[in-house]
Amino acid sequence: MARSSRFSGYVAGLLASFFWGIHSVIIRYLSEQGVNPYLIAALRLYIGVLVLFVVLLLQYIFAKDKQKYSKPFKYNKFFWIGALSIGINFLFFQKGLEYTLASDANLIQNFAPVTVLILSSLFMTHRIREIAPNRRTWARVFQIVIIGSIGASLVLLNDTNNKLIASDIKLFGDALEFIGMIFFTIFIVCSSEFSKSADYISSLRTTFMTLAVAAIPVTFFLPFGDLVKLTQTQWSWIIFIGVFSTGIAYWLWHIASTRLNVIPLTLNLVYIGIITVLTEFIFLKMGLDWKFLVGGVLMISASVAAEIINARAQKYHELNAIEHV
């Protein structure tokens, strides 16, 4: 894959991580105000779907000529599993933030790269071979993922945070976040595989259909009666995360998944922690310590190392392809 395409994939992934880093703090803030977490999950999905529908409609109106040559959207098992998994993730992620801090929730989410590597090694070996054609390279990739996850964990380990919530309540919230992380990992693997295996790929249409399906299981938990209780300020924050942290963020993530291997793609998630801690520092006046700096250095180092290995792997596959011609 061309270097420019990989670069745009990293930019899209980083922007998605930026919006996800902000939204966990906002959801925690709304939960502390008594907003039902399932209401937050449902509304942000509905808003995200609506935003993408409007963009698709504008695309259809102003780019009719391109629509003539587009192929019909084809579903497969990866689409269905990924879409339903992100819907279930929304339920556990939003509910967990009712009991734990945003930084703690993202600390658990940092296990996603490791879980993705394990799942890909077990069920998607062809994707692992794209970046690690031999065992030695695979071992280096594993080390990089671990370093990135450790760095992200250090960023989020602020001692002052743990005093704000009782340990038994936080433990329950952390358990919900862990389950949510597992489903988010399944979404990452399946959406990445779907983006690379489907006959017709449109990141915009794929994101629209994914969020529309994800909204189905969430709708069953929607507390309709709580809609009238939302204040204007709460609506403003929900609309913000619906537009930017849901519709646009998942669209950016699907763009990134078409241009990056699933391993370097997933390492973008570790940057969510930096954004979350900085957001808590600015708006919630929480402290920063030496672990933030050390963790940030480890995270950036892991991302750079992953791209170096990815670039070498691309050259390796290109040379092999030339030799077999």
User: Quick check: is 168 in a domain?
Assistant: yes
| Within-domain flag for 72 | no
Q: Is the pTM of this model over 0.85?
A: no
The answer to whether residue 84 is domain-embedded is yes
pLDDT tens per residue across all 325 residues of the chain: 566 777 888 889 889 988 988 888 898 889 889 999 999 999 999 999 999 999 988 888 877 666 555 566 677 888 999 999 999 999 999 999 888 877 677 767 767 777 777 777 666 666 666 666 667 776 777 777 777 667 666 665 654 444 455 566 777 888 898 899 889 989 988 888 887 665 445 788 889 999 999 999 999 999 988 999 999 999 999 999 999 999 999 999 988 888 887 777 777 777 777 777 777 677 666 666 666 667 667 766 776 676 676 666 666 555 555 554 4
Number of compact structural domains in the chain: 1
User: Can you give the pLDDT at residue 48?
Assistant: 96
* Residue 68 located in a structural domain: no
128, 212, 242, 284 from 209: Cα distances, Å: 27, 5, 16, 36
Residue 211 covered by a domain: yes
Domain-located, residue 270: yes
Task: Give the closest residue to 309 by CA, choosing from 103, 115, 132, 59.
Answer: 132
One-character DSSP codes across 253-305 = HHHHHHHS-HHHHHGGGGHHHHHHHHHHHHHS-----HHHHHHHHHHHHHHHH
Q: Per the domain annotation, does 201 fall within a domain?
A: yes
Q: Which domain holds residue 230?
A: 3-60+77-323
Q: Is residue 96 part of a domain?
A: yes
